[in-house]
Every structure is written in structure tokens, then in C-alpha cells.
Structure 1
């Protein structure tokens, strides 16, 4: 969607464009394709040093539009059509812009404008024909209330037909049941996506607030946090509607309403579940979305057989019930009554059942310990998962709770730990059950019986203060909430351990521990002897790693490219992750092979962890897939706190992924640029120490990184730095710029050691050189090494012994370490173990960081000396501030009345602070630049140091 802020075509042109400096721009009426147009034109091609300006009126900016587009329609005449004598003729003109909070009228200062682009025609107008060109440019990072556009002619024959200024918006939309408002597309170099929060449509909800991103081109991308229709509602286009009668939806999801299951009632619209019909039930473990079940009928064909069985024993058998109620969790219980003199009583605990009397899943049970000459009545009942619901709601007779079994859990010389079970049938009918446990010593004095009685709420107990090596008889009785009891359990015998048994156990344990200690001492002695022998056998080729801190670990890096099948290397060194365990949340960048997401990894039995997810873009070849996964084969071999951790890979599915730990603060170079001047030298040194420790580990693994740079160091919230980017091996191309070429682009050589450039000698020593460049980047808060010098100039300067100067406020000891890393002779550079040791010493002695290395502001491009890039003195304060990338303070200087460079030279640090420069890094940059401006001797090139 394009929102026009101002349109300049053939109506009222004089109120739109104002000629404010030299009046060579004139208003003309032209005919093009039969239509009349007003144009602004200038054509002074025979005069030298043309500088003609045309400026618009004040254009008010929408508060959210930080990026606007400028569409130009114009014609430019061919210089060759003028004949001889027009050597100054040009065929281009320039577009400028200037921001302001108020309309300044006809006041015009060229120094307040910054260049946007040089406009060149696609087709040049010759004598007998006219070609209308259309070009669109954008102006970004706008922040003030409005702006002006200006057009500069430096000697062309040009006519401007129209100027259209507009901005783009992402239109109001509904995505995934979330409503997002119309949003102005804005952003810049650091922010290309604008996050927009939405709200769920009516009758929809989301666990997290829905979000989406608006691109600079006015397009919606990467929705996060899907809304789902509430229970009782289903998705219909971009809304949620009620479930129709006879349908239901139980949870918030994207699924459709389902028909009510069997044996349920059909309710009104919007049902979240369908209740059971009368006489049907759902068990507590049944899903609310499932059918309802009836009660099982009685078991069939109950028989009792005692033939060929010992006296006092019989076999009961029966057939399953004819109707199970639609369930398969049928169990059986057997009840026994003994009848004597026309009176029937429960059989008691003497009767034994095999396998059990409750919870039977088989249709037969053996009953023993029956007395002769008595009548026994056995009843078999069928139960299912819904039987308890019928019992609780119909008021059927209640059977008192009964102890089913008792068992010993643990014992020692003075205590017994016991537990027991209650008959399931009685327990469900009376959920409030308590117990009385009675115990006594077993002895031969039958005329005296003394019990200790304990009242308990739980079905377990620990009985203490008992005598060692003594047998105790224990029985338990269960009581329901109404006070009824199912009788006591059979008295069972348990015995405490004797002291003699404990003593023997103690002797055995003591002997075992002593033997283990002796075995451990023998192993330690053998290991030390073997290590001593291995040191003696070390050859001269190991001199680079010969000191104790540089000994190689047992594990050595294995190049995955040595495998005939690269997939084997991936399976060996990386963990396979199922895609269902990965949740993508937000696009955070684009890698060499596809997009990079922030997301969540939730594996089985693990907590959720934030991760970075590298994806492989569609349409890849098998070679690209193998190259993509090779980085995982490398990362999977490393385990160190300062090396980025590989969580796993996805290789067995269509979309391959590499999952690593998520580093919240991103790449180190950009993070430092965004926080320029906010960290002390001590904090920066701590970051470098972490990087050095990671590189020490890699060198000990015999791995050469080859691309160590601040852009490949990641930072988390605790400012811990980790080495990343273990991509493909690089091949040095024979070209003047001398860059390494990969399938993803070229890597600049300004981080690469001279011998690696000249002879392809990649070693840990060349990584040390790169580490020195990283040190410079960190201490310079992300400044680009060698500034705007070309690769050819960098190589020439290094060969002529030039080294980067010390950054501002860099401790002298740190800069000296940089210079050691940049020694031409690679054998004389420090090892990473030496670097870690030195950084540790500096961190333990903060006073050693107080001595600052000499800093010459005339050398650094970020702090120019007395002139601009062309060698001439700065003509305005705004030009000077723009050269040191501090143009955001132009208004501060203007409001303070500092409008000339002479006034700038008189300023002190306190003066700079008073006009509103508060950030320490910005304060130092401006102050040191003024220091360089005061030295009027000469302009020094970077090669003159």
C-alpha cells in the first residue's frame, strides 16, 4: 500500500518546488505524447563549475514513516547532441535531503543537506526524440517532523517532470485468526523487520500474544503465536463460529467440531463436550471427547468344582458377561459367605484365593483353607472403569473396607516399615478410610497378650523403638468414614535385624571401601608413569605445543571431508533431532544456505532451551546439503564453554536443519558498535579472554579456524563470547583483491596472516594473527580493521611493516600483545596458551591496564585530522560531524551557537558534554577529533606512521 505524502506533477508546480539559490532552474511547459506538462529544467552545459539547486517546500513526515520513497520522472539530453565546445556537459544530477522540525521558509544552506543518490537516466534524449525516465530512490532513518528534498545540477541539460514522495505500509490483515493493524513499513540498516503485535479474533485465544513482521517493502512475513478457536468454536475463514447442535470441540485448537460420540446427549450450539446419557458414564481416566459406557452385566455360568482336589479346596470358574458396556477393562471380584445355623457371615481372612479375590482379569480362581461340614456361598461380580460411578450415584448397599494384603518395605535392628492394600471395591465406595494397626512381640506366654495400637491416615507405617532380633505379630483394620469396618487382617509375623547381622554388614562394607581405595591408588600410579613416558617420547615436531599448557587432549579433530560418505560423519558427530521437538519463533538472519531462526528445543525428558536454527533453503542440491551439514560434523566434535554448542541436526526429513545454542546478543562486532563506549577496558579484556580460551581449545584439537573475526564471535546475555562459524574450507583465488572464495561469498583478507595469503600456510599461528585483529576490533568497539583501505592497500601496507595503530584508550599491555600477534615470523608469535595466561595476569592486576598506549588521532579514519576526504579543510560543522559519523549531533551544535569550525576548535570536553553529548564513546570520539583538528601541521596518511 502506498501512502502519498506529496505529489508534484503538472498542477500548481510553483507551490511545490521552489528555486532558492541560483535561478538557472526554470519552469517550462512541454508537450509529451499529446499532453501538456510543466517542468523544471536547466541547461547550462557550456559554462564551467555549475552548481544549480532546486529545493522542495517543507514535507511533513508521518510519525511512523522513517523511510520514504522518491519517484522521479525526468529527461536528460545527450551531451553529444550539443557539438563541440561543451566539455563540461554532464548527463547526471544529484538528489539531496535535509531533516527539520519546522519549515525554514526560503532559507537555504547546502551544508545541511546530505546526498541520497546520483540520478542517471536509462535513456538519453537526443535531438529528434524524447525519452522520459522514471527512477525511484529511498531516504531512510528519518526521525524529525519533516524534511526537504533538493536537486543539484552540476552541468547537465535536465528537465524534471514530476516528483512523487510516498511511504509504504503493511495493510491491515487477519492471519492465523489474529488481527494486525495497518502498519507503516520502516527500518534501516540495523532493523529490516518491524515487529507488530496483534489480537485474536472474537472467540479465539493464544498462549502467547500473536506477532508478525512488517518488511520494508510493505509485506507481512513470519507470523508467530497462532490464535486458535476456543472450546465450542471452530475456524471459519478468518473468524470462529459456534459448533452446531450435535457437535462439540473440547479444547482450543485448529481442529474442526466433531460429532458427539456414542451414548451422549446432543446439546445446544457451542458445546465444549457432550454429557453422557442417563445410565451411561465416563471413567475418570476416559477422555472427555470419548464415548460413554454402560455398566457390565453379571458374569455367566458360575461353577464350583472340587473333584480331584485336596480337601478344603475348590475351583471357581465363570464366563465373561454378555454385555461389557462397550469397555475392555473388565475385572472380577469374588465374595465369600459361610452359613451356619441359618446365619451367614463373611468367610474371614482364613480363606486363601489364588491368584486373588479382587481385581481379577481371568475367569477362574482357586479357593483353599475351607472348613469341612460348612455351607459356603460365593458371589462373582463384574466391574469396569465406570462401575464406581454407578455405586456412588445409585445408593447401593455399602461393603466395609477390607485389608487385601500386608508387606514388609524395610527393616533394621529397631524398626519395621510396613504397607498394605485395601480391597479396590470397598475403597472406591468409601474414599475416606483410616486404619488401626496393632502389634505385639511373639512369645510363648499365651495367657498374656499386650498390643500396641496405632491410629493411621495412610496405608503405610514405620514402627520404631523395637527390640533387635525379635519377631513381632502385626494386624491392621480399616475403617470407613461412617465407622464401619471390614474386619482385621490376618496377623502376620515380621522380625527385626539382630546387632550381629549389622556388625557383619559393617565389616563387609569397610573391607569393600578399603579395597576400592587401594585399587584407585594403583590406577593413579600407573597413569602417572605412562604420562611421564609419553612426555619423554615427544619429538621435535611437537615443539609448538611442547609446554604443559599446550599439551594436546586425548581427542583430536577429524576432518569430515575425509569420509567417503559425508552423511556418516554427520551421524557420528551430531545428534539427530526429530522436527516435532523444534519450534521456530522468529527469523533473526540469513545464512549461507538459508534463513536462521530463533526457536525452542523441547526434547523428551528435557527442559525447553532457546536455540538458533539454521535451515537449508528449498531447491538445494545434494552437494549443497552435504556442505550445509559439514559444519555440524565439525561443531559436533567440540565441547568447550567458549565454543558454540551444537544441540543437534535434522537430516532424516525433507527440511535439513542445524540446531545450536542461542546467543542473545548476536555477533560481537555489531554488539560492540551498538554499545560504543559503554564497557571498560577490563570488561573488554574479559571478552577477549573467553575468545582466546576457545581458540586454545581448538588449537589443542589440531583444528585451524581460518576465519577468526569479531563477526564470527557470538555473545550471550552474560557477555560470554563463543567462537562460531566452522564452515567450509577456503581456497585462495589468484586475483588482485586476494580474497577467499566460498559458495556463500568472499571473505576479506584483512584478518588473514601474510603467509596464509602468500603461501596458503594455515596454522594455529595464522589464527593467532587473526586473533590480534579481533583484539583490535574489540578495543575499537567494532571498528572495521584498516578502515576504508582496499584489500590491495592492506596487503601493501602489511608488507611494508605497517600495523594498525592503538585504538583510543587501549591499555599499552593489550596493544603490545596485538603487535606480538602480528609478527611477520609466525614462529615468534605467541601461542594461544601463552595468550590466555597473559590475559589472566592482566585481569588479576587491573592496575596494569591504567597505562594507555599512545594514540594519534590523525591516523585513524574514524578521527580525521584537519581536512575532509579530499584534503581540503572542513567547510562546516555539519560536514565535520558527518565525517566522523556523529551527524546526529548537528542540531546540538547549532542550538548551542557553535556554527563555525573556529568555534569547534575552542571547545573542551566539558563544553561538548554541556551541549548534550552524553555517551562516553561519542564524547571521546568528538574530543579526540577536535584534538586532531588543532594540529595544523599536515595531513598524514595511514602509511606515514
Structure 2
């Protein structure tokens, strides 16, 4: 439909013909109704031509014109002829070539009653074309009558001595016509109501269409539709056709509210009915819950192919297989492996001693390692192929492999120990490698006298034993014997040559157990290197950042954590770390409610968690955005592997993860007040000093727990502390390197990556030496942020300026009203020598003492507004005095009070300098933090002026 203006006519002089009945005053002179031929057409016109009679005052009034209630702006189109005064011989000076138009409102028709005083002038009508004798030139003018409010009105035309013919008077108002646009219907709307330039009009979606917001358009003064806002879209099963929503044709569907057309039914679906929102799957084909309705239906996968086993080491093999020939058209294949062991024609499920690496179910790769196999048994492994639709069918796509009897090597003898010795006997024991059979191994022991090895004939004594200890008697005193122990295979053959060891019997007459001296030495020889290897291996697999050279960690208390953090990145399969440290949650137990933020990997929601048997709880839900790579998925879930190892009231609690479904999620407890820095900025001056110190105590307690677990946070900042409804603070954000990779805020690039300069200790910046001591430095910055109500550390200094200042021993000054004891603790955290910084144990203890003795918080640290409110409180950005109150308030981030200053008449900086604390309070600055910020800034300005005056003198 056209968007052109619609005109509603209220009066048309031409249409009325001779039945006008307008009132003339005076009645016998002036205007008169004539029948006139103009350009060959017959018209009834009102004319007046009393030019030669001198000054005139002739009025012509219309009949009562009823007004539509909403039509407050009326257009009057006039067609008229005006004769040139020079065309009259002897025309007086009073001759006019214009006439006036008037209007008067009324609630009822007053008949022939006519009072000039009731009329208000609308316009003086002047022609564009002047007619001369025999040459009639028609003029067309349109005038506007505004602000009409009563039921009707009159128009009047005043002649003051001209020669005028009114050919046509057409009175109308404009409206924006009823229209359907963007699947929304808008009603006929009168233009110019209350003289509003753009009148907003709400529309209504057509049948079978909906909109997220009410569709709107704007009607102009000229009756034109402009600026459409919002759009309706057809509901599922309907598509837009000529501004209507029509049902999808058979064989087509539309699954969602959108402006798209209906789609043809996808592969493996049945022909749909009219208005279908989806196409049902054919028999034997399915959709998974994660599949969109626009996707085709999938068949079940066929069985895996070519299952085979490869032996790796003793009791360990690798199962491999080929994917199914037919995947059913899906790419979400996974595999599970089950096991039976057979002995003497009887089979039973494999026990818990058999392990699958990485695991036995939900395998994405076509291989798995089996550990813990025993000798002498047959194993049957069954591999099942599954896809996202396998759950809808009871049939299983499996392939099996029955291994032959596993021929694995017998255990090996690792060391021989002398347990006891006498003059005629030696008691020996030995250790073996891991057993790979449930049957006890047998051993072959051979021994001889040492001196017999130099002759051509050597005599060996051979013993076959079933235990790893033996006492050998009837030996010669003071004689050295050579021993060799080897393990026997299942068939009774020795496993290798075995290493020879020498032991000596005691001299005759000497008896007793000498094992502590002799055998003890052998034990040290064999065992200590092994222990040392294990110890080093454990340190390599740990996240602990400390070393023997680090005096900060030299105390025994620091070296004995109750539990040690395990870095999930040391796992060959990161998914195994997630399964070990995090609880799997079914997505049906999670309800998302609203978006509360955005993380690196996706949006963060507030929602609920309802696990059967547990009370429903509020949670925060981190999601992984679509289109992620497998590497991004592993990095996303690694944070859960870290959080899952922690359990402390001041560490954000991990509720669980969703990993076995398409959309991975991390679910944590919900913290109502969000990030600490934003909370403090929003409540500047509203939180007491005692509460602030309590917050710091909670953060320090959480960091002490992490330090005790050998975990180094590396990104401790107020933005990474979350606050709940009880103002409890909890340490969060354990995705360090990933966050820093994409966060340009406060980071500095080094050869090892990016680090947050403003919060990082100097040794960590220079040498990337991250320890619990560097976390203590960061905690000092967090203390400053908290006491400064979220102020940015080092203000607007650049990263290079910050590093240079720190190296030159500059430290952040005390915030306003900061207790001296708290600021002194900050300075201790910022000591250049990290070994001299307090430990988190010391920090928690000191803050606890301050909280137990609130009087200790009343001594306030020295405050210098020229430094603590850096630059903004003393001068403009270029060092010059402030030019206006607005510039000054903006510099100290108090622009919201500009109107307060203006209303109080404080419009110059000279007036600002005269203000006292009570004056600032009286203009409406009530919040304590804001009041102090403004007052201290004024003090800084006065102090600067005084200093400049001294220099000037």
C-alpha cells in the first residue's frame, strides 16, 4: 500500500455549487455570489470589487465547519484571482492587491450571528500572479490553521479595498493512511495532533505473526509514514506473502519465528502437512535433541570394522579399529569398549583391576589402551559405535575381538637385599617389577663360591622358589658367594640372565644380624636413586612454582601442604583431568535465565541448577560459543579441572561441568554482586572501613589456601574477585594465560606472553618468576583497589611509566581514609626483595587481629591529595589550571554533580576555591566518598595555588 498522504475534506466550495449560503457583511455591499466562466468553465464564485469606493471592510464568513476530534491542524486551499490596481483608472491609494483570512472556533453553529472580535487572523493572502484587463490569472495558495481544539470552526475572508474573486475554498486535514508494512498493521492516523512533528504510532502484527517489541512508525505533519521501528515475523509454520503470514505448503516447514521462507523438508523425512513446524523422520531415522528441526534425519551407524590389538608392554595393549562404513550421515561418532575375560570355557566381566586409558566410554578416537591384563587368560573386547541418535534404538552396532592367550614377559628381579648373615648362612630377599598375572611367579636362584669362578669347572647350586625370600645354610665361614636370581616364565624358562651379586658369610665364631650395616648399605645403593627419580617426576607434574633456591618457601610449614595442586595440562588427555576433578551434570538439570556477562569463550548466564535429591540453587553458567575448535574446548574445560581441586569458602565453588553433550558448560556458584572492582565503584563511600578490611581478610584466606596447595594464581586483581549478597569475597578466574591472551587492558607483551603490569610483581615482569610471593605483591594492589573503592591502580599512567616508577622505588600512596596499619601492610607486600614480603599466613593473621581490635583502624595514614587523586585534583591534563567547573568535575569523575553546582550558582573555579566541606554538603553531595573526593580536590587546588604563589614571590 502507498505511503502517500491521505486528505480528508471538510469543506469544498466547488462541490457545493450555488448552495453555499455563506454570510456576507455588510450584506448589501461587498462580497457577492456570482456565476463566472473562467477559462471556459462555469464556476460559482464569491467576488468583491469596490476599489473606486475608497477604504473598505468587507467580510465573507463560511458556514460552520465540523472538525474531527483529532484534527487540530487544518489546511485551507484557496484558488482566487486578484486584479492589478493599476488597471483601474483613477484608483485610490487605498486599493489593495491582498486580502486576509481569519478563523474562529465554536462548539456549535451560531447561525447568522457574526462578531469580528471572535476571529483571529491566520494569514494575509497575496497573489503570485496579478490579473489585468481580459487576462485572468488564477492563484493557488494553501494556508494552515493550527491548535484547533473545539468541535468546529468558521473561516472568514476580509477585503480592505481590492478586486478579488474566490474561485475555490477547499478545507481539509491530512492523515497517514491505514497501512500494513513489515507484517504490522497501522491505523489511519491524523497528522499534526498537538503540532508534534513526528507522532509515534503503535502497530499490531498481522495474524500468525509476532514481534519481540511492539512495531512502531511515525506520522509526520504532512501525513507521511516514516521511521519504522521493530518488525513482525511469521510464527513457526508460516511464511510472509504479500504482507500476510500464510501456512507453509505441504512438503515444506518453518521451525522458528523468523522472516525466512518455508524450507523444503530435509533428507530422510516424511512429507509434512500444511503449516508444519518440522518434518517427521521416516521410520528408522532419527534426530538427536541437539539437532535443529531444519536438519535432516539420521540413520543408526553400522558396526566398527577391523578391531585389532597390539601389545605394548607387559600387561598392556592397544585396541584399534576402523570407523563404521555407514555413520548414518552424522559426524558425532563415539565409541565404548567393554571387556570379558575367559578361563576354562567360562567368561565373566573384567574386574576393576583392568583399566582403559583414557576411558572406556564416549571415546572420540578409534583406539584405546588397556592396562592391567593378566597372564594365561583370554579376553574378549567389544567395541560399540554410537552417534547422537543411538539412544532412540535398542539395537547396538558392535564388533568384538577375542585375543589369544597373552604371551607376556614374566616379572624381572629389580634388586637383591641381604637380610641376615651368620658364619654358615645368608638370608636374602629381592624385589620384582609389576606382576602381570594373578598367578604367583616362580624364581630360579643360583649361587657359587666366588673363587670357583677362576677354575675351568664352576659348581652352581640351583633352587626353584615360589617366594621372594630364602635362607641358604651349610655355607663356609668367611667366604664370598656369588648369587643370581631370575624370574621364570609361565613355561618355566628364565627371564633374562639376571645380575650377579656378592655376599660374604661371617668368620667362624662370630654371629649375629649384621644386616643394618651391610644390607643397609645395599638398600641405600638401590633405593635412593629410585626415590629421587620419583620425587623429581612428581615435581615436574606439579604446578608448584618454588625451587630449592627460593628462600621464600624454605620453611617446613610451606613444604608440607595437606594437598598438592595437580596441573591438568600434564595429563596426556585433558578430558581425563576434567572427569577426575569435576562432576558431570546433565544439561536438563540446568535452566538459563538471563545473560549477565561475556567471557572469552562465550556468554555467561545466571540460572538455576536442580539436581534430583538436592534443593534448587542459583548458579552462574559459562558457555562455549558455537564453532569452537577442539583446542578451545580443552582450554575452556581446563579451568574447571583447576577449580574442581579447590574447596574453600573464599574460592569460587565449581558445581560441575557439561562435557558429554554438544554445548559444553561450566557451572559455578552464583555471586549476586559481581566483580569486586565494579561493586566498589558503584558503592563508593557506602561501605564502612571495617567491612572493607573484612573483605580483604576473606580474599587473603582464599589465597592462603591456594598457596598451601602450591597453586600460583598469577592474575590476582579486584576484577577477578567476586562478591555475593552477604559481601563475601571469593577468588575466581583460574584461566590465567587464556584471559591475558585476548585482554589488552593492563597487559604488557614479553617473550613469554602477556602479563597484567599494574598488578604484577617486578621479578615476574622482568624474569617471569611467578611464585606465591608475586601473588602477595598482587594482593597488595588488591588491598589498594579495595580501600580506594575500585580506583584504577596508577591512574592514567602508561604501562612503561608504571614499570619505571616501580623500579625507582615509587609505591602507590595511601587512599583516602585508609587505616595506617592497612597501608603499612600494603607497603610490606610491595617490598622489592620477595623473600622479605609477608606470607599469606602472616597476612591473614594480621588482618584477623585488626578486625578483632577495631580501634586499630581509627589511625589514618597520611593522605596527599596531589598524589592520591593524581593530576585531576590539581590541574588540567596539560598541567594548566582548570578553565571551568565542568572540566574540574570531569577530571575527578564527579560530573554527575555539575547540575548541583550550577543550581547553587557555583559557576567559576574562583567560587569553587571558596567552598568548605559544609558548602559542598549543602549543594546535595551526600555520599561520604564523593564528599571527600570533592573536598580533598579543592584542598589540592588551594595547595597548588599557594605553592605557585610562593614561587612567584
Task: Mark yes or no: TM-score above 0.5.
Answer: no
Question: Per the shorter chain, which TM-score range?
Answer: 0.3 to 0.5
Give the alignment's TM-score, normalised by structure 1.
0.42
- Structure 2 length as normaliser, TM-score? 0.42
Larger radius of gyration: 2
